[in-house]
Amino acid sequence: MQTDSLTRRLYANDASLYEELPKGVSFPNSRDDIQTLVRRSKAEKFTITARSAGTSLAGQTTGAGIIMDTSRHMQDILEINSGENYAIVQPGVIRDTLNREAAKTGLQFGPDTATTNRCMLGGMIGNNSCGSFSIKHKTTREHILEIDAVLSDGSAVTFKPLSGEKLNQKLKLDSLEGEIYRRMLELLKKHKNKILKHYPHPDIIRRNTGYALDRLCEMDPITPGGRPFNLAELLCGSEGTLAMTASAKVNLVPLPKHKTVVIPQFDSLHEAMLATVEAVKWNPAAVELVDDIILDATKGNIEQRKNRFFLEGEPKCILIIQFEGDNPEELQTKADQLAKKLTEVNLGYAHPVVTDEDKMRRVWDLRKAGLGLLMGLGSENRSPTFVEDTAVRVEDLPDYVKEFQEILKRHNTSCVFYAHASVGELHLRPVVDTMTEEGLKTLKLIAQEVADLVKKYRGSLSGEHGDGRARAPYIETVLGKEMMPLLRQVKELWDPDYRFNPGKILDPKPIDSDLRFSPEYKKPTVETTFNWRVEKGFDSAVELCNGAGVCRKLAESGGTMCPSYHATRDEKDTTRGRANLFRQLFSGKQQEAFKSEELKEALSLCLSCKACKSECPANVDMAKMKAEFMNGWHQENGATLTETFFGHPEKFYPVASLFAPLTNFMTRQKPIKNLLQKVAGIDERRNLPEFAHQTFYKWYQKNEKKIIQPGRKQVMLLVDLFSNYHEPEIAKAACQVLNRLGYSVIVPGIFPTGRPQISKGFLDEAKEICETNIRRLIPFAEQDIPIVGLEPSEILTLRDEYTDLCGDDLLAKSQTIAANTFLWEEFLATELAGEEFKKPVNGKKILVHGHCHTKSLVGNDPLLQSFRLLGFDPVELQTGCCGMAGSFGYEQDKYEVSMEVGEQTLFPQLRELNSEYEICSEGFSCRHQIRDGVGKEAKHPAVIMWEAMQEYQS
């Protein structure tokens, strides 16, 4: 159990409105550990709140006691039985991880939430999660066969279907388990009619208000001839208030053989609701609603912008309707017929049908990003999660939504509409500012009025996100006063001392207590070096993260974000964990937060890969936040020798280069390596890059007359320090390629861009370099002379950081430079499109490992395109970060993590390569990590291209 301040802060939040500092955090390895923790809680009188990924939206994984995090160690798939279609999993197994393994035998776990790349089975059981395909797969409850649980007395019990003699045996047990069976059956038999009368309408698939007593009433012996009695169904949706899940046996279903998607697009929400009623008649697997607020948010998200390909015009909302089956022709026909029907009845102005597998995936990626995208809308459009999970019958949706909009109108606010229209559930998120007293008053009024509306339609207050803290105060409104004593009897039977997740479902605090953002919240007012122009202030930047936890997806799910978390599985190494600390500390300590040891520790393994800037739906830029913090830290505490060494290469590179043979010899010697490790923190297992005997710039000066020829088009080549001093052949090749394309190549010197200074948190120096370079480069930009760079992190600094580092007087010039600055491959892709060569490369295979900054800010498409134009057959490796990240991998305290990051996806793929492939990597650090990690050589694209062009000429 960890009780330090850093760990407690990290677990004070989930994805909800709430922030509550726990007493400590426990990380069990096994069921035995859970039993020990439960017994301790009874003896020491503390409470336990179970948690896995922490993506809950109603506050059910926050608590003042001990948080029990099963995600770190209890993540094993214990069995997959393809013959009997089941799996046995621990609670920390990620849903997509299970499905990747199950897919090998043609199976899947059906429920498909928007968070499947990081949500875990323990949380899905706790919330009774559903997802986009609940019209087909229903809820988690329908797929839980058995639950191995720990009861409040510390005993271990397996709940599973029981009938006849087996149930009678349980009733005779002299234990808490036996008492639970006896009293649950007694309660259900006595109150069956009352329960069925007051609970949500049985036609609503996603009903999850209170405890699932209505579901138990369907079972034998409560309903003779019903399905076997199974208390595992009660634990689904109980939010960890009754028992702790140690493992579960879950049902697996066959993967669909074929899929087709039709995407009707509408001018009004009402049209979409009417179309939903029609669509469900066609037996779809999913009908999802996405409104214009989310669609507009995708325009500003680098990752999701590319997934807007199917949109026609600017729809008010869309439906994503998926059909699944064995016959693709039948699916196509059904999709076409539905589109035709909707057109005939004037529902929707466009109805594109998508059948390509990759394009369908992109459509669903956009849909799944919706939740997080809402959090990137800024404080002025904050839409808290407090009434976003209501469900009614599908046929009631049009009228229900109409009345919901009347509530919004009365309170002069708007609302985001999205989610699972096929089963009568819409995630409705009113825009409310909880940082004002008026906003809080509006929130409470809307919450009560929506609860009354749900009651009117006999709906469910929670469809899948749970009651938690946000909805528990209104359970009585929806179920009625008669049901509350029954819910309390259930709680006290299972957990008489209220040790398990108190305040959830029963005895909640008021909806507006312990809010993350409240009138008491103090915005950070600190001095910063970055201007934070896009975010509209540092205070807004630290408030962006909502806890959706996309940063907890693993490398195997694709993407790059939070590579250190992939290696450590520690919450402090996620963007979410770090962002929560930024907000907590700066809103509390203000300028003093720059002294925080906790935040420094949390940032220590951040590789500044920038993936969060594009992959995080809220566009949290942790690399930039880290640089700002480290700059403040240095001002308070000074810098280490390691930071100074790696943060100022321009100061010692010229001297080291003068004596290149001696420098290289010395850095290869073991005593020198040992000394560098002790003094500068450079891990002795690393081989430092060697200095070239002749720098690029010396070669350029000797050959300048050949490279710059009068009358030719001009291009300015920005040659970074690393290419100049370590790998001059790259810049030479670039000059040759550009000459071949008819350009004179201007290299106005070798100068720092400020990238190392930014990465190490020397922002004042970086700003000075930035403003000097703006003045140096603006003449080229104003003459429309392209500025082309070879090292992605260096050239992209001009486009990304410069426009926020510079003063207002240089902002326009900085923006002009940014618009005229290109990655090597961006420039080449455009130029090569108009070139004709004597002969192509004839499909030579190139494996591309993309640089993190490129993937985050531009994407790999220009590089792939430039290779294709030269006749290559490029294959983009699905790799995350290489693990080197500038100087990160050279540092002794980070070496192990660096190599583990490489092992996540990059190294295994490269080891399997045969000789027909050539490896391409733009990044200086990436190439060296590949050499150290797998002993293979990777080349810069400029070198590969020049070698190809020489072949053309021969």
Q: Is residue 56 part of a domain?
A: yes
Full 3-state SS string of 712-741: CEEEEEECCHHHHHCCHHHHHHHHHHHHHC
Own/partner pairs for 581-584, CB < 8 Å, 24+ apart? Answer: 581/6, 581/9, 581/10, 582/542, 582/625, 582/629, 583/516, 583/542, 583/543, 583/545, 584/9, 584/12, 584/19
Task: Determine the average pLDDT of the residues in 656-664.
Answer: 94
Q: Is the bond preceding residue 756 a cis peptide, omega within 30 degrees?
A: no
Predicted pLDDT of residue 381: 59
pTM summary value: 0.92
Question: H or E element: which one contains 779?
Answer: helix 763-782
Q: Is residue 142 part of a domain?
A: no
**Bridge pairing between strands 258-262 and 317-325:** antiparallel
* Contact status, residue 268 vs residue 327, Cβ threshold 8 Å: no
Indicate the SS3 state at residue 521: coil
Of 603, 638, 673, the residue that ends a domain is 638
* Residue 815 exposed, middle or buried by CB count within 10 Å (0-12, 13-18, 19+): middle
Question: H or E element: which one contains 157?
Answer: strand 156-159
Indicate the SS3 state at residue 583: helix
* Contact status, residue 716 vs residue 786, Cβ threshold 8 Å: yes
* Contact status, residue 329 vs residue 257, Cβ threshold 8 Å: no
Give the tokens for residue 565. 């978390």
Give the tokens for residue 875. 């294959």
Q: Is residue 210 part of a domain?
A: no
* Contact status, residue 717 vs residue 748, Cβ threshold 8 Å: no
Indicate the SS3 state at residue 221: coil
Task: Determine the average pLDDT of the residues in 314-340.
Answer: 94
Domain with residue 62: its CATH number is 3.30.43.10
Predicted pLDDT of residue 633: 97
Residue 368: which pLDDT band, with cuts at 50, 70 and 90? confident
Q: Which residues contact 631 (CB under 8 A, 6 or more apart)?
A: 529, 761, 762, 763, 764
- Per residue in 58-74, pLDDT (tens digit) is 999 999 999 999 999 99
- Per residue in 702-750, pLDDT (tens digit) is 999 889 988 899 999 999 999 999 999 999 999 999 999 999 999 999 9
Share of the chain above pLDDT 90, in %: 86
Give the tokens for residue 344. 């005939």
Of 313, 348, 377, the residue that ends a domain is 377
Predicted pLDDT of residue 418: 80
- Residue 938 CA: distances (Å) to CA of 233, 686, 733, 846, 933: 54, 17, 15, 10, 12
Residue 415: which pLDDT band, with cuts at 50, 70 and 90? confident
Predicted pLDDT of residue 952: 66
Give the tokens for residue 572. 């402090």
Domain with residue 890: its CATH number is 3.40.50
Q: Is residue 325 part of a domain?
A: yes
Distance CA 20, CA 9 (A): 9
Q: Which residues contact 721 (CB under 8 A, 6 or more apart)?
A: 649, 650, 653, 750, 752
Full 3-state SS string of 917-936: EEEEECCHHHHHHHHHHHCC
CA torsion sign for 877, 53, 547, 21 is negative
pLDDT of 297 > 90? The answer is no
Q: Is residue 663 part of a domain?
A: no
Q: Is residue 932 part of a domain?
A: yes
Distance CA 217, CA 925 (A): 62
Predicted pLDDT of residue 949: 87
Domain with residue 294: its CATH number is 3.30.70.2190
Distance CA 888, CA 375 (A): 30
Strands of the 244-251 sheet, one edge to the other? 77-81, 86-89, 244-251, 144-150, 156-159
Could you give the number of structural domains in the chain? 4
Predicted pLDDT of residue 896: 96
Q: Is residue 442 part of a domain?
A: no
355 DSSP 8-state letter? -
Distance CA 348, CA 271 (A): 7
* Contact status, residue 376 vs residue 417, Cβ threshold 8 Å: no
Provide the CB-side half-sphere exposure for 307 (13 A, CA).
23
**Residue 489 — φ and ψ, nearest 5°?**
-60, -40
Distance CA 139, CA 466 (A): 12
Indicate the SS3 state at residue 769: helix
Residue 298: which pLDDT band, with cuts at 50, 70 and 90? confident
Predicted pLDDT of residue 375: 55
Q: Is residue 778 part of a domain?
A: no
Predicted pLDDT of residue 380: 60
pLDDT of 382 > 80? The answer is no
pLDDT of 839 > 70? The answer is no
Task: Determine the average pLDDT of the residues in 376-401.
Answer: 82
Distance CA 29, CA 26 (A): 10
Q: Which residues of 377-403 are buried (b: 16+ CB within 10 A; e: fewer)?
A: beeeebbbbbbbbbbbbbebbbebbee
Q: What is the mean pLDDT of the chain?
A: 94
Residue 419: which pLDDT band, with cuts at 50, 70 and 90? confident
Distance CA 578, CA 573 (A): 7
Of 346, 377, 408, the residue that ends a domain is 377
Indicate the SS3 state at residue 803: helix
Task: Determine the average pLDDT of the residues in 443-469.
Answer: 95
Distance CA 169, CA 163 (A): 10
Provide the CB-side half-sphere exposure for 67 (13 A, CA).
30
- Per residue in 747-796, pLDDT (tens digit) is 999 999 999 999 999 999 999 999 999 999 999 999 999 999 999 999 99
Distance CA 467, CA 609 (A): 37
- Per residue in 859-913, pLDDT (tens digit) is 999 999 999 999 899 999 989 999 999 999 999 999 999 999 999 999 999 998 8
- Per residue in 83-117, pLDDT (tens digit) is 999 999 999 999 999 999 999 999 999 999 888 99
pLDDT of 377 > 60? The answer is no
User: Which among 11, 15, 10, 8 has a CA at the least distance from the CA of 470?
Assistant: 15
How many Cβ atoms are within 10 Å of 873's Cβ, its own excluded?
Answer: 13
Domain residues for 863?
A: 832-953
